[in-house]
């Protein structure tokens, strides 16, 4: 389906482990610390908290934080950056837990969501708890870190509300990108901007580069996530098929599919969505339209544009294995299957 | 039912408005700012956020913050304290919204809860959003403020999980007080300690006094809240009758009632609770036992002890109308009906 033939083709086919090899040690340390530092001493709470952290996750946000810090400071990693990497994964985790409550999701990473395993009520508390621990870490970094994450959380909530209120409506591509920025990209941006700001050897040009890379990377990441909702291997994504469409969350493949249909004067897809799929047959029909339209390919093309834009921002950063990993990571996101 | 005949009797019967008269202006300003400062620009989000703030609330936490600041600094109120007062009410509000999701509550302050009005999912987001805005305010105060609130949120979550896991179990009075500290008193304590720390003219003795007052005030406040679950006028509390008991949340009146029964070798109440009230008749029987036992009176006596302990801590603070309000407020909490 994807057909990228560029000079980065070989890079893009690298496995994630290989891409993250230069920061393998740091990521192992992060993994240990993540579990160790989050414990509350309350057995029941700790059981739920570790359940989620142990269920996997790619740790992309910490990886980008560490890669940027090492790329800027010629391989040296201040411990404060490792703290930041942990905090950002904790904020991300808390947001996923609350998202699953909000979307009433059944599975994530191939296991039952916290809300399905222990109920929505406990899941709300666990999310709040992880957020409070993340906050405790951020305040030890600096004021800017807290400020950035407070703004990001703020944007995330507005993004979620936008999504809830736009459900079963064909939104414009612009609104979709705007929502993706708020829901996903801003957290990547806050994390990397903060990483750059606390790393020696940084300057305004570099900070601009981290912002540009992570914002565009984050948007691409969200687009691919939305494509995987349609094309992903269920065992790998750990999520149900076309769950977003079923829940009325309109993403890039659907927007492009509908655009194509509407240009031909065909309002079938739009009507099926706006009537909230009166039955399973309606839903399957809509899904069929999206799959056979060029929507998925167009969404892939859009994601690739954002990846290339992201990578372009890295020009001002000196070459190193860490910078190469950031490039590879961006292309990897287009090829990922979960 | 309550029968306090002390030198503070007249004070304790003062109406809340009269008690807060010395900071009337500040509270009016706070009310305006609370609504004004929380807006996101997203119409739907703002509708939900203002719905909750406009539904009332006694603003006790901001009042105590302002009273302490003015009592310490001889009537002068630094604007940073007003910011803190707003932030603490925001944190409190966010926790109430999530609590209502957690408890699946129907009404609060006499109106439908956010989760009943717009669904649990949106309520989770609104809570997160308000928390993010509170955080944005706290970080502008200082690092200590964020640290304290992060710890408090942490304790709050542990308290909530403890409560969930202890449901339909007769807990010890010690566990009940411990849970009440985490769930309620620590937020009062963080707010007032922070208020004292940022106010000129403070010293360690005063900080110790603010901690002692607010911790004990907070525990008393929670005990009275739990008594009102049984005795409160439904229109005034805006909550259903004996909702806590029904949900298996075991509070002071029940603990004392059961103590009395168990001492006489009667395990009826314990068994009714531990079998989760198999039917409405079982529940009504348990409720009857609590009401006719001396449990409510004993709980009142305990609350009064905490109030007196709280007031005792104020000795090191110079007399003023603000200090008098803090004393009156503590006694008022015993007499409050909502």
Q: Do A124 and B124 touch (CB under 8 A)?
A: yes
Q: What is the mean pLDDT of residues B76-98?
A: 92
Of the pLDDT bands very low, low, confident and very high (cuts 50, 70, 90), residue A236 is low
Q: What is the mean pLDDT of residues B328-335?
A: 95
pLDDT digits (tens, 9 = 90+) for A129-187: 999 999 999 999 999 999 989 999 999 999 989 988 899 999 999 999 999 999 999 99
pLDDT digits (tens, 9 = 90+) for A72-125: 988 788 889 999 999 999 999 999 999 888 878 888 888 899 999 998 889 999
Q: Which residues share a beta bridge with B112?
A: B107
Give me the percent of chain A exceeding a pLDDT of 90: 75
Q: Distance between CA atoms of B201 and B215, rounded to whole angstroms?
A: 22
Q: Distance between CA atoms of B134 and B37, rounded to whole angstroms?
A: 10
Residue A126 has pLDDT above 90, yes or no: yes
Find out whether B310 and B212 touch, Cβ atoms under 8 Å.
Answer: yes
Tell me the residue length of chain A. Answer: 338
CATH architecture of the domain with residue range A9-225+311-335? Orthogonal Bundle (1.10)
Residue A107 phi, psi dihedral angles, 5° rounding = -135, 155
Which has more confidence, A333 or A11?
A333
Interface of A with B in 283-302 (CB under 8 A): none
Asked if the C-beta of A178 comes within 8 angstroms of chain B's C-beta atoms, the answer is no
**Residue among B120, B146, B153 whose CB faces A146 most closely:** B146
Write the ipTM. Answer: 0.85
Dihedral-angle region of residue A78 (phi above 0 means left; psi in -120 to 50 means alpha; beta otherwise): beta
List all residues 6 or more positions away from B94 whose beta carbon is below 8 Å from its beta carbon.
B127, B128, B130, B131, B134
**Residue among A44, A45, A139 whose CB faces B150 most closely:** A139
Q: Distance between CA atoms of B219 and B4, rounded to whole angstroms?
A: 18
Give me the percent of chain B exceeding a pLDDT of 90: 75
Angle at B336 between CA B330 and CA B338, to 5 degrees: 130
List all residues 6 or more positions away from B25 whose beta carbon is below 8 Å from its beta carbon.
none
Asked if the C-beta of A90 comes within 8 angstroms of chain B's C-beta atoms, the answer is no
Asked if the C-beta of B6 comes within 8 angstroms of chain A's C-beta atoms, the answer is no
Of A167, A162, A197, A164, the residue nearest A182 (C-alpha):
A162
DSSP 8-state symbol, A242: T
Angle at A20 between CA A19 and CA A23, to 5 degrees: 145
Q: Do B129 and A165 touch (CB under 8 A)?
A: no
What pLDDT is attached to residue A338? 72
What pLDDT is attached to residue A238? 65
Neighbours of A249 (CB within 10 A): 19
What pLDDT is attached to residue A6? 37
pTM across the whole model: 0.88
Question: Going by DSSP bridges, is the β-strand pair A107-108/A111-112 parallel, antiparallel, or unpaired?
Answer: antiparallel
Select the CATH number that applies to the domain covering B9-332 from these four: 3.90.1150.10, 1.10.600.10, 3.20.20.70, 3.40.50.720. Answer: 1.10.600.10
Asked if the C-beta of A117 comes within 8 angstroms of chain B's C-beta atoms, the answer is no
CB pairs A-B closer than 8 Å: 135
Residue A111 phi, psi dihedral angles, 5° rounding = -120, 165
Closest chain A residue to B47, measured at CA: A161
Of B241, B252, B250, the residue nearest B280 (C-alpha):
B241
Of the pLDDT bands very low, low, confident and very high (cuts 50, 70, 90), residue B46 is very high
Look at the block and give the residue holding tokens 């957290």: A187
Asked if the C-beta of A47 comes within 8 angstroms of chain B's C-beta atoms, the answer is no
């Amino acid at each position: 389906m994807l057909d990228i033939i560029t000079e980065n083709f070989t890079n893009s086919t690298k496995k994630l482990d290989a891409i993250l090899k230069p920061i393998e040690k740091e990521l192992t340390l992060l993994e240990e610390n993540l579990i160790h530092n989050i414990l509350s001493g309350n057995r029941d709470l700790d059981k739920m908290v570790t359940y989620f952290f142990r269920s996997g996750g790619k740790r992309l946000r910490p990886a980008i934080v560490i890669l940027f810090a090492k790329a800027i400071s010629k391989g040296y990693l201040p411990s404060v950056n490792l703290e930041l990497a942990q905090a950002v994964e904790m904020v991300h985790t808390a947001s996923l837990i609350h998202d699953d409550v909000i979307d009433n999701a059944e599975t994530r990473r191939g296991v039952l969501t916290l809300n399905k395993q222990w109920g929505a009520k406990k899941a709300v508390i666990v999310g709040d708890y992880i957020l409070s621990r993340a906050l405790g870490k951020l305040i030890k970094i600096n004021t800017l870190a807290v400020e950035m994450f407070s703004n990001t959380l703020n944007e995330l909530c507005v993004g979620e509300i936008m999504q809830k209120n736009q459900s079963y409506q064909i939104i414009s591509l612009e609104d979709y990108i705007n929502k993706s920025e708020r829901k996903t990209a801003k957290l990547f941006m806050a994390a990397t901007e903060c990483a750059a700001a606390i790393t020696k050897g940084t300057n305004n040009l570099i900070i601009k580069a981290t912002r540009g890379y992570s914002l565009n990377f984050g948007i691409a990441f969200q687009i691919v996530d939305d494509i995987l909702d349609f094309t992903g291997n269920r065992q790998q994504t750990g999520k149900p098929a076309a769950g977003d469409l079923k829940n009325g969350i309109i993403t890039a493949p659907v927007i492009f599919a509908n655009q194509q249909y509407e240009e031909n004067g065909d309002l079938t897809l739009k009507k099926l969505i706006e009537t909230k799929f009166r039955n399973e047959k309606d839903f399957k029909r809509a899904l069929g339209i999206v799959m056979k339209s060029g929507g998925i390919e167009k969404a892939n093309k859009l994601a690739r544009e954002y990846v290339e834009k992201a990578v372009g921002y890295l020009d001002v950063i000196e070459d190193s294995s860490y910078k190469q990993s950031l490039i590879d990571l961006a292309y990897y996101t287009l090829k990922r299957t979960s």
